[in-house]
Amino acid sequence: MDWLTMDLIVARFNYWVYIVLMMIGLYAMIAKNNYMKKLIGMAIFQTAIMLFYVSIGTKKGASIPILDHHGGEHGAGSAHIAGEAALKVGEAAAAFPEAAAAAGTTNPLPHVLMLTAIVVGVATLGVAMAVVQKINDQYGSIEEDEVLKRIKL
Amino acid sequence: MTLAQQAPALILLFPFFGALLTLLIGLYRRSWCWPATVAACAASALAAWSTVVQVAESSNALVTYRMAGWVPPVGIEFRVDALNAGVVFMIAMVSLLVAIFSRTVVINETAGKEHFFYTLFQMLIVGVLGIGLTGDAFNLYVFLEISSLSSYALIAMGRGRAAFSCFNYIMMGTIGASFYLLGVGYLYIKTGSLNMVDISRIMHEQDLFQTSTIHIGFLFILIGVWIKMAFFPLHRWLPNAYTFAPTATSALAAPIMTKVSIYVMIRYMYTVFDPNFVFGMGPRSDVVVWLAVIAMVVGSFYALAKRKLKMMLAYLVIAEVGYMVGGAWLANKTGLTGAIFHIMADGLMTAALFLSAGAIYYKRKSYNVTALKGMFQKMPFTMGAFALAALSMIGIPPTCGFFSKWYLISAGIEAGHYGFVGGLLFSSLVNAILFFRLLEYAYYGEVETPYVAAGKRGKKKGFREKSGRDEAPLSMLVPMWSASLGLVLLGFYSGEVIAFISRYVAEVQF
């Protein structure tokens, strides 16, 4: 029992949160009758995935991923090295002394990916709301059963 | 660097800047949108052809393009090999043909919104081409959403139940794309990379195939692309969405969107993951092949039961998805070759069918089957193109449909999966019944006017029944016949195309 609570729930708390949120969103998308409520479900569903991504990039006690270097020429130099062809991972670590410091910082990549996903989510929501408005203009309702009744007529 | 070396990026950039330009031009003069779109699509098709030639000429059948020169695991790369070169070229050609075709229908159906239509039209092409080109798992998600968002807006421009069916499509499409994103997240947790080849390398080196994270990630990606391609139990969104969409939208989306999802599935099964992993986990592959068989049979039967031409074609798309998924999951080289060849063949024949259906609708203002009666006298050229595409769909020798089905059936026999062989033959027979019934209507039927003297209302709609020949304009006939003749050409050159595909298939270790 102790193993269950510690290993399955506490250690994987972030995954539980995302799964619960995702199921709430999925339930609303499938079971709700009102189109706006379906869209709210969709937003929750997408947000759950963003939380999942953000949580996998963080570490306990890690700092923000900003390089602490003095002198401006360094940035240009590393960009030049990155442009060179065929860098293996090991060589890349040697080329970037900062890579050693990566252990102490959070992983920024999932966070950056989610910036894109947020934009996509907003755009999807916008398109979907425009479509709901069109449905409302056409059938005079945004309740699914009402709309279906009017389609059958 | 010469211009030819930039070709993989140019394929994408032409329609992308074309989309932005079209919007600006449209504000000034809407009639210029069509030429701008056609020019962008033509340039993109040219770049795609140049890429195909480069891939064919390179020793290892691979062309990579690094965005801004960043080295792959960090930067995004476009990776064109013998698998996706053909798919990308098919997509670019189909979009060019549909762009030419769309001149009159877009003015007719979305009057006053041509510039928005063509902007979204080109963004859809950008998204689909990007999915085909990219070698980065997350980049693929972004392109997936670009294509989906533009297709939502394009479908909602239709009439009738368009908005309602579009809403269902948005729901399903979002779930599909989100599942894909989750799957990529699981792969990222284990491998720490987003580049497809890099993910594959790390999974092989560290032997991660036994971990449950990788299994779950694979399943999420698989279900995500299945929703996007309308594979059998997840197909319900497709028929309505494609039926009520504007003519040009369905002619563009039906051939390319489902096919590119099948490409993504094959890419994940064989390049990112390993056939030993995919097929080595118990009865799963057999279940998928049976689902594909059900998709073929159910899709064909629903198509036979429908009275609307476009609805029939939409259900046939579902049946065709069954062919390709089944071929890819038969776990042998013949099946994989057949599936990849069928992606190209089916893209072209779906385009030909939807284009001729669009031309018939343009003249008859009806998708009802009875509107086809006597069409061989009314529109002989349109019906000729339709008949050729129908023959390819059934699988009659000079056309490419025969060759892809031949490969798929041989693969079924090779794998000893007679359910698949039977399902494919049965579905072809149902196709034959369906299309010969339509052609019989068109050849022997008496011309009926579906809008018989609707009086003032008919006239208000601008519908006039002409006596004698009433052929579609040249801007429709040219793309229609190009697609149909392309089917015959692809049939004649099937040996060369399959030899090209084999360069990818030969590297797969079954």
H/E run at residue B159? none
Q: Which residues in chain B are closer than 8 Å to A113, comparing Cβ atoms? A: 138
How far B483 CA lies from chain A's nearest CA (Å)? Answer: 32
Residue of A nearest to B181 (CA): A49
The pLDDT confidence band at residue B185, using thresholds 50, 70 and 90, is very high
The DSSP output letter for B157 is T
Q: What pLDDT does residue B464 have?
A: 56
Residue B63's φ and ψ, nearest 5 degrees, are -125, 125
Q: What pLDDT does residue B106 have?
A: 84
Residue of A nearest to B161 (CA): A151
Q: Which residues in chain A are closer than 8 Å to B153, comparing Cβ atoms? A: 127, 130
- Select from A116, A131, A139 the Cβ nearest to the Cβ of B170: A131
Q: B178 and A45 in contact by Cβ < 8 A?
A: yes
Domains in chain A with CATH codes: 1-58+107-153 (1.10.287.3510), 72-105 (no CATH)
Instruction: Kindly state whether residue B441 falls inside one of the protein's structural domains.
Output: yes
Per the structure block, which two tokens stand in for B111?
A: 């009057």
The pLDDT confidence band at residue B261, using thresholds 50, 70 and 90, is very high
The residue among B85, B80, B285, B82 whose CA lies nearest residue B196 is: B80
Residue B65's φ and ψ, nearest 5 degrees, are -135, 120
How far B299 CA lies from chain A's nearest CA (Å)? Answer: 23
Q: Which residues, listed in sequence order, are joined to residue A105 by a DSSP beta bridge?
A: A63
Residues B225 and B269 sit within 8 Å (Cβ to Cβ): no
Q: What pLDDT does residue B223 have?
A: 92
The percent of residues in chain B predicted with pLDDT above 90, rounded, is 41
Q: B145 and A38 in contact by Cβ < 8 A?
A: no
Residues B249 and B151 sit within 8 Å (Cβ to Cβ): yes
Per the structure block, which two tokens stand in for B79?
A: 């990776």
Q: Which residues in chain A are closer than 8 Å to B227, comparing Cβ atoms? A: none
Q: Which residues in chain A are closer than 8 Å to B188, comparing Cβ atoms? A: 56, 110
Q: B73 and A127 in contact by Cβ < 8 A?
A: no
Instruction: Kindly state whether residue B311 falls inside one of the protein's structural domains.
Output: yes
Lowest mean pLDDT among A87-91, A132-136, B309-313: A87-91
Q: Which residues in chain A are closer than 8 Å to B167, comparing Cβ atoms? A: 35, 128, 131-132, 135
**Chain A CB within 8 Å of residue B170 CB:** yes
SS3 B451: coil
**Average pLDDT, rounded, for chain A:** 78
How far A85 CA lies from chain B's nearest CA (Å)? Answer: 6
Q: B188 and A86 in contact by Cβ < 8 A?
A: no
Q: A49 and B185 in contact by Cβ < 8 A?
A: yes
**Chain A CB within 8 Å of residue B305 CB:** no
pLDDT digits (tens, 9 = 90+) for B437-488: 888 888 887 776 654 444 444 444 555 556 667 778 888 889 999 999 999 9
Q: B181 and A38 in contact by Cβ < 8 A?
A: no
Q: What pLDDT does residue A125 have?
A: 93
User: Which of B39 and B363 is assigned the larger pLDDT?
Assistant: B39
Q: B74 and A42 in contact by Cβ < 8 A?
A: no
Q: B178 and A49 in contact by Cβ < 8 A?
A: yes
Q: What is the rounded distance in angstroms from the CA atom of residue B504 to the CA atom of residue B266?
A: 11
User: Which of B71 and B220 is assigned the larger pLDDT?
Assistant: B220
Q: Which residues in chain A are closer than 8 Å to B171, comparing Cβ atoms? A: 29, 38, 42
Q: Which residues in chain A are closer than 8 Å to B149, comparing Cβ atoms? A: 120, 123-124, 127
Q: B73 and A89 in contact by Cβ < 8 A?
A: yes
The percent of residues in chain A predicted with pLDDT above 90, rounded, is 33
Helical pair B137-156 and B114-133, crossing angle rounded to 10 deg = 150
Domain of residue B476, residue span: 283-510
**Chain A CB within 8 Å of residue B180 CB:** no
Q: B171 and A38 in contact by Cβ < 8 A?
A: yes
Q: What is the rounded distance in angstroms from the CA atom of residue B502 to the CA atom of residue A147?
A: 51
SS3 B58: coil
Buried b (16+ CB within 10 A) or exposed e, B343-364: bbbbbbbbbbbbbbbbbbbbbb
pLDDT digits (tens, 9 = 90+) for B94-114: 999 999 998 888 888 887 788
Q: A127 and B145 in contact by Cβ < 8 A?
A: no
Residue A62's φ and ψ, nearest 5 degrees, are -90, 155
Per the structure block, which two tokens stand in for A153?
A: 């007529």
Q: What pLDDT does residue B297 have?
A: 92
The residue among B472, B288, B509, B252 whose CA lies nearest residue B379 is: B472
Range list of H helices, A96-143:
108-139
The residue among B298, B315, B304 whose CA lies nearest residue B438 is: B304
Predicted complex ipTM = 0.86
Residue of A nearest to B150 (CA): A127
pLDDT digits (tens, 9 = 90+) for A33-92: 999 999 999 999 999 999 999 888 887 777 777 776 655 444 444 444 444 434 444 454
The percent of residues in chain B predicted with pLDDT above 70, rounded, is 95
Q: Which residues in chain B are closer than 8 Å to A25, comparing Cβ atoms? A: none
How far B64 CA lies from chain A's nearest CA (Å)? Answer: 13
Instruction: Kindly state whether residue B479 falls inside one of the protein's structural domains.
Output: yes
Q: What pLDDT does residue B159 have?
A: 81
Report the residue count for chain B. 510
Instruction: Kindly state whether residue B469 falls inside one of the protein's structural domains.
Output: yes
SS3 A67: coil
Q: A151 and B174 in contact by Cβ < 8 A?
A: no
Instruction: Kindly state whether residue B361 falls inside one of the protein's structural domains.
Output: yes
**Chain A CB within 8 Å of residue B216 CB:** no
Q: What pLDDT does residue B1 have?
A: 60
Substitution target in B77, B136, B161, B171 with the highest count of A β-carbons within 10 Å is B171
**Chain B CB within 8 Å of residue A112 CB:** no
Residue of B nearest to A122 (CA): B149
Q: Which residues in chain B are closer than 8 Å to A115, comparing Cβ atoms? A: none
How far B110 CA lies from chain A's nearest CA (Å)? Answer: 15
Instruction: Kindly state whether residue B83 falls inside one of the protein's structural domains.
Output: no
| Counted domains in chain B | 1
Residues B48 and B86 sit within 8 Å (Cβ to Cβ): no
Instruction: Kindly state whether residue B74 falls inside one of the protein's structural domains.
Output: no
Substitution target in B151, B161, B174, B213 with the highest count of A β-carbons within 10 Å is B174
Q: Which residues in chain B are closer than 8 Å to A151, comparing Cβ atoms? A: 161, 164
- Select from B149, B156, B181 the Cβ nearest to the Cβ of A134: B156
**Chain A CB within 8 Å of residue B189 CB:** yes
**SS (HEC) of B163-178:** HHHHHHHHHHHHHHHH
Q: What pLDDT does residue B192 have?
A: 85
The pLDDT confidence band at residue A96, using thresholds 50, 70 and 90, is low
Q: What pLDDT does residue B49 have?
A: 92
The residue among B3, B235, B19 whose CA lies nearest residue B115 is: B19
Q: A124 and B73 in contact by Cβ < 8 A?
A: no
Q: A83 and B69 in contact by Cβ < 8 A?
A: yes
Cα distances (Å, whole numbers) of residue B23 to B119, B121, B128, B243: 6, 11, 20, 27
**Chain B CB within 8 Å of residue A43 CB:** no
**Average pLDDT, rounded, for chain B:** 87
**Chain B CB within 8 Å of residue A84 CB:** yes
Q: A131 and B167 in contact by Cβ < 8 A?
A: yes
